[in-house]
Structure 1
């Protein structure tokens, strides 16, 4: 009799151990300490750390994250060909994985996103082309850089239609109770992408195209202030005709750390044909506070069910950098001007698919939660009070373990890009890029001795401080 009573609880406990495996949660422990390496610009050590976890920290379904991580680190380390090798793999895998997820959308509605292959955040898919373009510029392959630059805004233009298709597929799922609709994004022009395009056109003396790119930057500034929360750069030098022996130097600096993903916890309570969704946040004592209630019509659901879910959100990581300046051979310093907030772009593009993620998670939780409640009732019919309690507890824990938010995101994109154009006689210069805090404290010096600046050539100097 004891065996009969305890066996179901043991089965449920075994289920808990199975579903609590790493495949249903995002593990970021391999990033521990890596920000310190980035702050010291010790990119070889960071690369070694990521390579050491290639087969343990990154499973097959996480290959896109690995390709992006290692590709960006090779870029910062100045190994541009190797960077492009991995960023190209990332781009192909992102496209393939999204195509697969689109074709399986209706049938995978009840699967936790952590169990699916990662198709990348859209800002990753967009900006990998910017860094591929910079890699090609450093390698002297301007035509290939042009190809990458064009892809940036092409991808942005397709974002809403991309997720409209996904919403349509999800709405056709048997378990769907609400119509899936994507969110809205106003990020349709990358100023960074247009700036790189302008440099390439100007190098080929295509002045009409230069004008068009600058006009599109100005238009984007007005239409998408969320992505550009600062004054538009002064582009007056960009349209000046510069003739030998004068040359142009374009300094491009990246600062800050890529945003992360964090989980928010929500509680579901059901009433007749309705669910009530309550959000939560942690106060300074670590206790949960109800943040508000949402009432959602849900035909067919009965009253009295209670579930917990997790939903992902983009969270910025505060940058220490407040100002960047460039100094040439001890001459007067010139401040760089911000041109794009990549971290804001990450939030803005995430907003398009966020409603789909939220409704998918909600649907999955309700369907699985109701099934689990019914299974618990049947399983505990012939148990005594104590055994039934532990069986229900184990079942609840098992269901909760399957509802971890998908927090996968690459680690090594920057938070912000800044620019400065300088006209100077061609020659060899010792260049210093200085990064200051918002309080004026010098944080980092990027020394570049013996930089050759040539007239009639595209001279792009890239710098970074990912802190």
Structure 2
């Protein structure tokens, strides 16, 4: 019996899953830089199981969907995002079946369920994919799916809000394209509220289009309930409606943050308090704090030393951060920021870290108790063997704890949008991606863009390197 228990312990230690997130970015970032989107897609396909695996199936399809979108292969992007949507919906409706395994090992053993902003971003990309292939009905379906997901995710608790102004605004544009003015007005109003509650300041151009649309629909009174000051004039939005055509430029700037590990250590007294110390990754300062420690069965009044890692945002160098758009050589505009993924991640981690910290610390204490019991149950009487075995158990159980660093790898750091009223016909659009100091880091020449009468033509510029 002792041999069986010992074998089980050693098997658990040996089977502790390697953290695929630790190598995914290091493997794919150089490929993206040297070989572009299609080269990165090819690399992922070759090493899919090693880089992602079954538990990160959502992220595999999410990342592939983004890369195909950037490469302009919208049909392939649609297929991957459909798979990601299905995985998300299946996990959302099912109970967590892997909690028992997660208690023994770590959060990486659970299927990745997607962060709220990743879910909403998935719908944004899918809507744009359908618009790119001229399938307005498909885009409308995704808009309605996005609304359902947004309502399910939405929560407002002090600073905790899950909504997305850009997704609401994009939905309004799609409704306008379909001639559904009432739905467009509702979506515009929700966009305004989402921007006011969210982490991106209301863009001036967005507010102008919202004001114009609600005023035209005799819903100007709705504007009075918002925090943003109503506009007396809406020249650009009015021109767009009068002309009937516009070019909408969507620019993806920079590369969103990834996750690293922040190590915490301290003491845990079951049902009393947990005192933890950590080093701030930005300032290098050592910080200490105390939180409530939930009771753990078998812990009694003992004091336990705990050490574990939590996800920590790791910012990446940003080559592009803004855009300049020139239309037909005589009209220059600057797209405004409508989404900030860096801030989305920071808020999401702030919302979740307290729960993750308590869950992780509780797991460490449970494993510590189990390890002590296992060492006693497997004593052989051989001093040297038992010493080696006990050290192996202690080291192994401590190494089981790995922070869950999973996150979408190819999100932009920010999304920038502008709407440009134009006459029907062919147009030349030049987009310059610029760094933080205004230096040009990339040029995108889009020649002979044909805009038909009454059409809203979307142009996507992926400067995420």
Under TM normalisation by the shorter chain, which class is it?
0.7 to 0.9
Q: 1:318 to 1:219 in 2, by over 3 A?
A: farther
Name the CA shift for 1:16/1:154 in 2 (closer, same or farther; >3 Å): closer
Aligned position for 1:165 = none
* Distance of 1:201 and 1:75 partners within structure 2: 22
* Aligned-residue offset at 1:388: 5.5
Consecutive unaligned residues in structure 2, runs of 5 or more: 209-233
1:296 alignment counterpart: 292
Report the Cα distance in structure 2 between the residues aligned to 1:218 and 1:260, rounded to whole angstroms: 29
- Give the counterpart of 1:261 among 246, 259, 262: 259
Q: Which secondary structure does the structure 2 equivalent of 1:320 belong to?
A: coil
| Alpha-carbon spacing, 1:41–1:141, altered in 2? closer, same or farther (3 Å) | farther
Structure-2 residue corresponding to 1:178: none
Whether the 8 Å contact between 2:253 and 2:413 is mirrored in structure 1 is yes
Note if contact 2:9-2:393 (Cα within 8 Å) is conserved in structure 1.
yes
- 1:94 is aligned to 88
Aligned to 2:150, which of 132, 139, 156?
156
Per-residue CA deviations over 1:110-158 (Å, capped at 9, x if unaligned) read: 4522122222222222211111100000111112212212333432322
User: Which deviates further from its counterpart, 42-51 or 27-36?
Assistant: 27-36
Cα distance, 1:126–1:314 mapped onto 2, change above 3 Å: farther
TM-score, normalization by structure 2: 0.82
Q: Secondary structure at the match of 1:143?
A: helix
Instruction: Decide whether the 8 Å contact of 1:30 with 1:50 is kept in 2.
Output: no
Q: Distance in 2 between matches of 1:106 and 1:30?
A: 26
Secondary structure at the aligned position of 1:42 is classed as: helix
Q: Which residue of 1 aligns with 2:420?
A: 422
Q: How does 1:217-232 map to 2 (within 5 A)?
A: 217-224=191-198, 227-229=199-201, 231-232=203-204
Pair 1:344 & 2:351 matched:
no
- Do 2:31 and 2:40's aligned partners in 1 also have CA atoms closer than 8 Å? yes
Secondary structure (helix, strand or coil) at the match of 1:136 reads helix
Structure 1: runs of 5 or more not aligned: 162-181
Structure with the bigger RCO (C-alpha within 8 Å, sep 6+) is 1
Tell me, in whole angstroms, the C-alpha distance in 1 between the residues paired with 2:151 and 2:313: 22
* Cα distance in 1 for residues equivalent to 2:268 and 2:197: 41
Question: Does the 8 Å contact 2:251/2:462 carry over to 1?
Answer: yes
What is the CA distance between 1:223 and its match in structure 2?
2.0
Alignment match, 1:164? none
Conservation of the 8 A alpha-carbon contact between 2:257 and 2:342: yes
Counterparts of 2:178 and 2:59, CA distance in 1: 36
Match of 2:395 in 1: 397
Shift of 1:50: 0.9
Of 451, 456, 462, 1:453 maps to: 451
> Does residue 364 of the first structure (1) align with residue 363 of the second (2)?
yes
Distance in 2, Cα, partners of 1:316 & 1:200: 33
The answer (yes or no) to whether the contact 2:245–2:421 under 8 Å persists in 1 is yes
Matched with 1:334 is 333
Take 1:261 and 1:160, find their aligned partners in 2: how far apart are those partners? 24
Aligned residues: 434
Partner of 2:122: 128
> 1:54-75: per-residue Cα shift (whole Å, max 9, x none)?
2332222222121111111111
CA offsets 1:221-247 (integer angstroms, 9 cap, x no match): 2222xx205754353333546455x63
Aligned to 2:40: 46
Alignment root-mean-square deviation, CA:
3.3
- Cα distance per residue 1:392-439 (max 9 Å; x no partner): 332221111211111122211222111111122222122111011111
Residue pair 1:267, 1:307 contacting (<8 A) in 2 also: yes
Structure 1 residue 85 corresponds to structure 2 residue 84:
no
Q: Is the 8 A contact 1:16 1:395 kept in 2?
A: no
**Which whole-Å deviations, capped at 9, do the CAs of 1:311-366 have from their partners, x for residues lacking one?**
22444434232331111232242111111113322333454444433322122111
Counterpart CA distance in 2 for 1:69 and 1:141 is 23
Residue 276 of structure 2: which of 275, 278, 299 is its match? 278
State the distance in 2 between where 1:242 and 1:21 align.
56
> Measured at CA, do residues 139 and 105 of structure 1 come closer, stay the same or move farther in structure 2, by a change above 3 Å?
same
Contact conserved, 2:58 with 2:112, CA < 8 A, in 1? yes
Q: 1:279 to 1:9 in 2, by over 3 A?
A: farther
